[in-house]
Amino acid sequence: MDFTDDEGKEIKELMSQVFPGHQEFLADSVTPSITGTIDNPVVSFMVVCNEEASKDFRENEDISVEVVGSIKDNKRDLGKDLILRFEFAFPVFSLQFFTAIEGENAKQQSDFARILMETDYFIIWLVDQDKNLLKVLQVDWNNESHMEILKNII
């Protein structure tokens, strides 16, 4: 995405507010953030793309996104992990990214699951390895189809 200097500065400031410490996020990572208010939370995810994925996102406008949740046992026997799979479908291929909301901090995980039960969309920030913004996507989240999974970790 091309921005004026002022727009680029504003976007970097906004990214820093939504994703504190984002400059340290690793390539191929997906990091959640919750902003907004108690009555109107906004769930965002920053996807840090490797060089090849960054090129794909720059070159393609026609991208559909599906987010699918599942749960699995925590590796350290500390509850269940909520796994979110982000599938980005391009005209002739797809890319997948994953994030785990681990069961080690049951309170935080439960709070996050409750918010996921109430929201019907996410904001996905796609950035390259240098944390330059590639795209911002608003993605529908079918919370109804994930209720059973989310109830299992509350």
Give the per-residue SS3 of 103-124.
CCCHHHHHHHHHHHHHCCEEEE
Per-residue pLDDT band at 1 (split at 50, 70, 90):
low
Query: Cβ contacts of residue 4 below 8 Å, gap of 6+?
Result: none
Would the pLDDT of 2 be above 80? no
- Average pLDDT for residues 117-137, to the nearest whole number? 95
The Cβ-side half-sphere exposure at 125, using a 13 Å CA radius, reads: 25
| pTM to 2 decimal places | 0.92
What's the confidence (pLDDT) of residue 9? 84
- Average pLDDT for residues 17-30, to the nearest whole number? 96
